[in-house]
A and B are shown apart, each in its own frame.
Chain A
Amino acid sequence: MSGVATPTIREPSALELDRRVFRRRQSKRSVLIALASTVAFAVIVWATVFNTPGWADVQRSFFDPATFVESIPRVWEGFLINLQVLGFSVITVGLFATALALLRTLRGPVFFPLRALAAGYTDVFRGIPLIIILFLVGFGVPALLNIRIPLVVLGTAAITITYGAYVSEVIRAGIEAVHPSQRLAARALGLSYARTMRLVVMPQALRKMTPALMNDFVAMQKDVGLISVIGAVDAVRAAQIETALAFNFTPYIVAALLFVLLAIPTIRLADWYTARLRRREQTGSLL
């Protein structure tokens, strides 16, 4: 830029001040409208749900304060198992999915079998319900090897098999969404294929796929609750046990709340991250 402009301290014109007053009034009006519609919505919910004849019974069996408090320690203990599986799965899914995606982007006839294998894998394992994979892995693998394997490991393996297939497709789409001219530019600079991928393509691909990856991550956070079907006493199974003991469904609500609390920070983080990227790469306003 030629001739750097020195910031001028100046008073906005009367016209601009008028416009600001108008915009402020508009935004105040939007807030009021939002408020009014929220109140109206709350009234409708109250009238249609809380006012129904069965609500008292539902409240007693699903929202019982005493049972709620009593079941927290057990459900929380189970929830820690979910967290373990989730923590391991994030790493294994990440590695496995990236490897699958890279296999599918390899060019050249030599790599045909690898490409075909990766493509076939994603086709098959995206098609099979996670719960079936859990049964197959959870009961099949220990029988096959005839050893005891910790349920956390089996759960992680099953989730990796299924989510690896999903996430690899997201990564592949992200890689392919980076404009080919970027590869040309990197290769022209003398970067190898691997370095081009690592230093130029992947960082850009990662930005494009962040929202989709976060979406899969949130889905995975909830699906770790399915490991209860292979016998793990996780949050869901613990809640089930507590429910049977108390003759009351409130423990399920406790488990649900824990999963929601786990998901919210991730969702907010993803929103914040994508907003930040957009701000950094774009000057001027978004229309």
Chain B
Amino acid sequence: MTAPSRTVAPGTALLEAHDLWKSFGDREVLRGVSLDLSAHEVVAVIGASGSGKSTLLRCLNLLEPIDDGQILLGGEDISDPRVDADRVRARFGAVFQNYNLFPHLSVLDNVTLASRVVRRIPRREAERRGMELLDRIGLVDKAREHPDRLSGGQQQRTAIVRAIATDPEVLLLDEITSALDPELVAEVLDLVRSFAVDGMTILMATHEMAFARDVADRVVFLDAGRILEQGTPAQIFGEPREPRTREFLARFTA
């Protein structure tokens, strides 16, 4: 169901970031980050808070302008100021730490808004698909409720299917469980896992090391705006090369 709508020639990356730089004022947040993402790949970005995880994700879908570097999506240079940024963002799905659901819209309208307005799918069809997605997360009976009436876990699952509803090529997840109660984390991660199994291309910034180890194909350790090391979960969690990585991971397993 969630196979990417556009396919890329095998061997080439779906999303490529080359040497990204980004500062806020005189604070350098990204200092030359290069990252490739193949179709159907699940990549977890780990690192301390302030290491640039969120900024990296936001730069990739053009929510934040980069100071230098290049971003290619499906071979197209999306960091070129000539491209229509709205059209590019529509090709990404994004889920935020604090859900960011629209409180004035019902759960179903939250899920179908972009399909109807951006992709111009007729309401009836968008809602049929929206209900399918809500069924998948067990919230069909909440479709007409407003998001404030839902639990945090239900809200975040709604936010995930809202991002999925437009069939994005890449799903960006920005610490989506950080604001959740521990007992609600599992239901959200299970949903992400099911989309990963479906073949969705996912880039997630996360503090859930167990989940990253379990679901990610590749783990990237970001430190002070640089990728310090990356590799398979077994490699990063089992035998990290860099002392900084070991130090960081030690704090999570302590």
Q: Which residues of A contact B (CB under 8 A)?
A: 1-5, 7-8, 10, 12-13, 15-16, 19, 22-23, 26, 283-285, 287
Of A8, A12, A19, which contacts B80 at CB under 8 A? A19
Max chain B C-beta neighbours (<10 A), residue from A5, A8, A23, A26: A5
Chain B contacts for A3, CB-based, 8 A: 48, 51, 223-224, 244
The closest CB in chain A to the CB of B80 belongs to: A19
Of B48, B69, B79, which contacts A2 at CB under 8 A? B48
B6-26 interface bits toward A, Cβ cutoff 8 Å, 1 = contact, 0 = none: 000000000000010100101
Chain B contacts for A1, CB-based, 8 A: 48-51, 224
Chain A contacts for B24, CB-based, 8 A: 283-284
Contact B27 A13 (CB under 8 A): no
Contact B224 A22 (CB under 8 A): no
What is the bound-complex CA distance between A68 and B174, given in angstroms?
64
Contact A26 B81 (CB under 8 A): yes
Q: Is B124 an interface residue (CB 8 A)?
A: no
The closest CB in chain A to the CB of B63 belongs to: A287
What is the bound-complex CA distance between A3 and B27, given in angstroms?
12
Max chain B C-beta neighbours (<10 A), residue from A2, A4, A7, A13: A2
Q: Is B132 an interface residue (CB 8 A)?
A: no
Shortest distance from the beta carbon of A287 to any chain B beta carbon, whole Å: 7
Q: Is B147 an interface residue (CB 8 A)?
A: no
Number of chain B interface residues as a range: 20 to 34
Contact B81 A2 (CB under 8 A): no
Contact B31 A12 (CB under 8 A): no
What is the bound-complex CA distance between A23 and B51, given in angstroms?
29
Known: A7-B26, A8-B31, A13-B19. 16 other contacts (CB 8 A): A1-B48, A1-B49, A2-B48, A3-B48, A3-B223, A5-B28, A5-B31, A8-B28, A15-B69, A19-B79, A19-B81, A23-B81, A284-B24, A284-B58, A284-B64, A285-B63
The closest CB in chain A to the CB of B52 belongs to: A5
Q: Which residues of B contact A (CB under 8 A)?
A: 19, 21, 24, 26-29, 31, 48-51, 58, 63-65, 67-70, 79-82, 223-225, 244
Q: Which label, helix, strand, loop or mixed, suits the secondary structure of the A interface?
A: loop
Q: Given A5-B27, A5-B31, A283-B24: A15 and B70 within 8 A (CB)?
A: yes
Chain B contacts for A4, CB-based, 8 A: 224
Contact A22 B81 (CB under 8 A): yes
Contact B225 A5 (CB under 8 A): yes
Chain A contacts for B58, CB-based, 8 A: 284
The closest CB in chain A to the CB of B70 belongs to: A15
Chain B contacts for A22, CB-based, 8 A: 81-82
What is the bound-complex CA distance between A285 and B59, given in angstroms?
11
Contact B223 A2 (CB under 8 A): yes
What is the bound-complex CA distance between A16 and B69, given in angstroms?
7
Chain B contacts for A2, CB-based, 8 A: 48-51, 223-224
Shortest distance from the beta carbon of B134 to any chain A beta carbon, whole Å: 27
The closest CB in chain A to the CB of B25 belongs to: A283
Chain B contacts for A15, CB-based, 8 A: 68-70
Shortest distance from the beta carbon of A18 to any chain B beta carbon, whole Å: 9
Q: Given A7-B28, A284-B58: A13 and B68 within 8 A (CB)?
A: yes
Chain B contacts for A23, CB-based, 8 A: 81
- Closest 8 A-B residue pairs measured CB to CB? A1-B50, A3-B224, A2-B48, A5-B28, A16-B68, A5-B224, A12-B68, A5-B225
Q: Can you report 20 residue pairs joining A to B where beta carbons are below 8 Å apart?
A: A2-B48, A2-B50, A2-B223, A3-B244, A5-B27, A5-B31, A5-B225, A7-B28, A8-B28, A8-B31, A10-B21, A12-B67, A12-B68, A13-B69, A15-B70, A16-B68, A16-B69, A284-B63, A285-B64, A287-B63
What is the bound-complex CA distance between A145 and B29, given in angstroms?
70
Chain A contacts for B21, CB-based, 8 A: 10
Shortest distance from the beta carbon of A155 to any chain B beta carbon, whole Å: 43
Chain A contacts for B26, CB-based, 8 A: 7
Chain A contacts for B79, CB-based, 8 A: 19
Shortest distance from the beta carbon of B98 to any chain A beta carbon, whole Å: 13
Chain A contacts for B70, CB-based, 8 A: 15
Chain A contacts for B29, CB-based, 8 A: 5
